[in-house]
Amino acid sequence: MSQESIIPPNRLKRNLLAGHLQVGMFVAEFRQPSVMQILANAGFDFALIDNEHGGFGIETIGDLSRAAVLMGITPLVRVPDIAYPYIAQTLDVGAQGLMIPRVTNAEQVRSVVQQMRYPPLGERGSALERGFTRFRRAPVQEVLDSVHRETMLVIQIETRQALENLDEILAVPGVDVALIGPNDLGIALGVPGQLEAPVLVEAIEKTISTCQQRLVCPAIAMGDPRLAVAWARRGMRMILAGSEIALMMRAGQEVLTAIQDGVAHGN
């Protein structure tokens, strides 16, 4: 078998390397794999399955990840902690990348990279015929090489310590994306909920600049479309544009308002 026949290509990683803006959504609550088809139909590039603040079990993470791959949308998973079972098992069931929250220093990132990679580059154990291989088997070295090529690592920048250690963190080999979490970072900087506060804007600009120097993709979680566009124009290449919950709420409110206004005003 060819490499791509057993390990699916990571479209998100390839598109980012090609310089294309990529937009995705958190999946934090909906457990039906069909949510991935809906996001793909809407045109999103990736889905971030939230296992930090979401309530998903590993079986659901596997179902959602494999459905996303089948629909042509890249599945990433935010793990709840830096621990081998969360990292290895999440990748084994089919995630094409991980997002690591609450990072404070480069040593944490080096530990994650070690747990994601197979020997001699790391310490991940090998199991074939699992979700990430689409339950197929191929020569072991072919699988290892393909996994190393197609798997992504996203580091969240959401703490004061991460900002202070930013250059060292992004210098760790294996980091593909640095994603600003403006909600938590704003809280850490003393400006909770103030997405345009100067101290937060300065931190985001610092992250973009350091990413460009280190050849790491800068990204941001931004549910406000106006601010998402503004940051994309200033260098962000990957936008996490809210959650499936927010999408449903916003669409529902728009429909309800349109009906109520139409009835009230005779339109």
pLDDT tens-digit map of 219-255:
999 999 999 999 999 999 999 999 999 999 999 999 9
Q: Is 148 helix (H, G, I), strand (E, B) or coil?
A: helix
Residue 94 scores a pLDDT above 70: yes
Phi, psi of 234 (to 5 degrees): -100, 5
Rounded mean pLDDT, 152-163: 97
Cβ atoms of residues 233 and 225 within 8 Å: no
Phi, psi of 179, rounded to the nearest 5 degrees: -110, 120
Tell me the residue ranges of DSSP E strands in 101-210: 152-157, 177-180
What are the residue boundaries of the structural domains of the chain, listed by start? 3-265
Cα dist. 87→68, 135, 177 in Å? 19, 19, 17
pLDDT of 5: 65
Q: What is the DSSP string of 222-262?
A: ---HHHHHHHHHTT--EEEEEEHHHHHHHHHHHHHHHHHHH
The yes-or-no verdict on residue 172 having pLDDT over 90 is yes
Percentage of the residues of the chain whose pLDDT score is greater than 70: 98
Q: In the predicted model, is pLDDT for residue 3 greater than 50? A: no
| Stretch 161-180: mean pLDDT | 97
How far apart are alpha carbons 20 and 264 in whole angstroms?
45
The answer to whether 200 and 185 have CB atoms below 8 angstroms apart is yes
User: Residue 1 above 60 pLDDT?
Assistant: no
Average pLDDT on 91-105 reads 96
For 249, the token pair is 């709420």
Mean pLDDT of 147-153: 95
The pLDDT-based confidence of 133 (bands split at 50, 70, 90) is confident
Mean pLDDT across the chain, nearest whole number? Answer: 94
Does the bond joining 8 to the residue before it have cis omega, within 30 degrees of 0?
Answer: no
The whole-number average pLDDT for the span 201-215 is 97
For residue 166, pLDDT over 80 is answered with yes
In CATH terms, is domain 3-265 a member of 3.40.50.1580? no
Catalytic residue list: 53
Once rounded to an integer, what is the mean pLDDT over residues 92-118?
96
Please say if the pLDDT value at position 2 is more than 50: no
pLDDT value at 165 more than 70:
yes
Residue 4 has pLDDT above 60, yes or no: no
pLDDT at 188 over 60: yes
Write the CA distances from 143 to 2, 68, 235, integer angstroms.
10, 20, 34
25, containing H or E segment: strand 22-27
Answer for the pair 50, 28: CB distance below 8 angstroms, yes or no: yes
267 pLDDT higher than 80: no
State the pLDDT confidence band at 216, using cuts at 50, 70 and 90.
very high
Mean pLDDT value across residues 168-176: 97
CB count, 10 Å around CB of 135?
12
Name the β-bridge partners of 156.
179
pLDDT given at position 207: 97
